[in-house]
Every structure is written in C-alpha cells, then in structure tokens.
Amino acid sequence: MTSWGTQQSKREHRVVLVTGASGAGRSTALDALEDLGFEIIDNLPLSLVPRLFQGAPLERPIALGIDVRNRDFTLDTLAALLDGFARDPAVAAELIYLDCEPEVLLRRYSETRRRHPLASDMPPDAAVEREIALLAPLRARADLRIDTTAMTPHDLRAEIARWYYPGEAGRLSLSLHSFSYKRGAPPGLDMMFDCRFLRNPHWVPELRARDGRDAAVAAHVMDDPNHGPFLAQLEALLGLVLPAHLEEGRTHVAIGLGCTGGQHRSVTVVENLAQRLAQAGWQVSIRHRELEHGAPRPPLKGDGERP
C-alpha cells in the first residue's frame, strides 16, 4: 500500500474508508486524516456514498467512517460498494481496518461509560465478540490493518500520518521520541537507540526533578565525553539512511531514544538531534512521551537504578 499522495495524479477521486471494531480508534483515525487534508464524512448511509464521486474531480481526498451504526450497513452492501470502486477507473479506494483485542475494547468502553452499539440486547463482552465476528470479512479484505491494542491516540495519529502524509512529493518527515525503558519502547519505531550509557542527572539532587530540556540538565548530559561523538555518529548514520528511505518512497520515519526514566538523557539527546536534523533540512517533530503529562514528573519507582 502506498500513501494517497503518491497516486494522486492517477485517479480523479480518492477515498479512504475507515472501519473496525467500535472503540478501536475510528474517530481518532478520522481526526488524523482530517488534519492531513482529507474531507471527513462519518456514518453516511452506504447507498449515498457513490454520489460523492459523480461529477468533477474532487479537490481533496475523502475519508469515510464506516461501522455497524451506518444506516443500511450490511457486509454485502459494503462489499458491493468496494467492488464498485475497484471497477471504476476514476476512483482510488483504500480500506483501513482498526483492530484491537476484545478485553481492551471492553476496558475502553468501561472507562468512557459509553454503551456498545450492539449491546442493547446482550452483555457488553458478547456485543464486542459479535461485532468482531461480524467484521471479520472486512478485516481480511483491508488494504491496511492497524492494531491499536497497545496504542495511545497519539500513536494512532502518528501511524495514520506514516501512511497518508500529504506533503510535497519526495518529502520525508521524521519524528523523534524520547522514552523510558521501564515503560517499554513506543510502538511503531523504525530505529531505536539507547542513551543509558550517558551521565545521569538523576544522581545530582538539584537536577533530579528537572528534565532534559532544562539548560542545567542538558549541560550535565552534554558534559559527558561520550555525548558529542554519540550525537555525531547518530547524525552521520541518519545522513546515510534517510536519503535511502526517501528513495524507497517512505514518507515518515520514527526514531526512538530511550533512557532509564525518559526524563533526562533521552530528552536532551532528542532535542539536540532534532536541531541538527532540522538544520540539515529535514522536517522533524518531537515527542517526549514521559513528559506529556506535565514536567517535571515525580521519579519512577527505582528511577536511576542504572546509572
């Protein structure tokens, strides 16, 4: 599957259908596509969908939210719609299926206190299982399947951007992620580097509660004699591989840099590397996962166990 931007000139109309189990992240995926320039239409009756593509070529692609709540939704109706798109030389259609483990879907519904759309005549767990079984043929037919079980909304938005980034032709976007190894690596990374060998500000009491964006913390990390060569080697490696990714048609590369708590060393390295990559002309975004809920954060239990 290629991003819609690589095929834009080949078809007059482009549509992405987003479906999957209720609670798997359909609204988040649609929001991400809207931010990428798609026109979003959710829960349109399936019988009306073909009318969207009658007439002049669309100025921008369309993303359709499809699930069991759509009026006149049946597998046969949706299959007929997809078959019609496949036969129409003017329409380029792709189907995204958002997958998720049943127990996670149940937990999400419990947290939001929303009722499952099929739960009116059965318990929630039975409704989840029934919907998954009902949508199984669509899962098998999907052009792109995304398992959101372990994803945050941010992770899902990043994954959508990975496939549908509508930037300039030949443009590659980079996302740099700092993270804590104690909490596991973020999903979807293309490359990952360990910063735990660098000098740890955790052991300096006045720096412990700050993070790697703080000037004093950054200076402490950068004073490590290994920091400069490490950053230079990273820049050299990425200077070699990123143009090759670009030539292969990639539109997004995610790079993770981790340390013990995800607060100090990895944050400083991400900030410094992002600056160098931006100066080299790359489009770079930053995510400090452990700082997203506010910084400074209380130390993790056992933070600094590995110096």
pLDDT of residue 72: 73
pLDDT at 291 over 50: yes
Least confident piece of the model among 36-50, 56-70, 256-270? 56-70
pLDDT of residue 272: 96
Mean pLDDT of the chain: 82
pLDDT of residue 116: 59
pLDDT at 102 over 50: yes
As a whole number, mean pLDDT of residues 190-203 equals 96
pLDDT of residue 246: 79
As a whole number of angstroms, the distance between CA 14 and CA 93 comes to 6
Q: The tokens of 202 are what?
A: 């955790």
Residue 36 CA to its chain's centroid (Å): 13
pLDDT at 234 over 70: yes
pLDDT of residue 111: 62
Percent of the chain with pLDDT over 70: 83
Question: Quick count: other Cβ atoms within 10 Å of Cβ 228?
Answer: 12
How would residue 295 be classed by pLDDT, with cut points 50, 70 and 90? very low
pLDDT of residue 134: 85
Structural domains of the chain in order of their starting residue, each with its CATH number: 4-164 (3.40.50.300), 173-291 (no CATH)
pLDDT at 56 over 90: no
pLDDT of residue 110: 66
As a whole number, mean pLDDT of residues 184-205 equals 93
pLDDT of residue 306: 34
How would residue 303 be classed by pLDDT, with cut points 50, 70 and 90? very low
pLDDT of residue 298: 35
pLDDT of residue 107: 83
pLDDT tens by residue, 108-164:
776 655 665 655 666 778 888 888 888 888 888 888 889 998 888 888 888 888 787
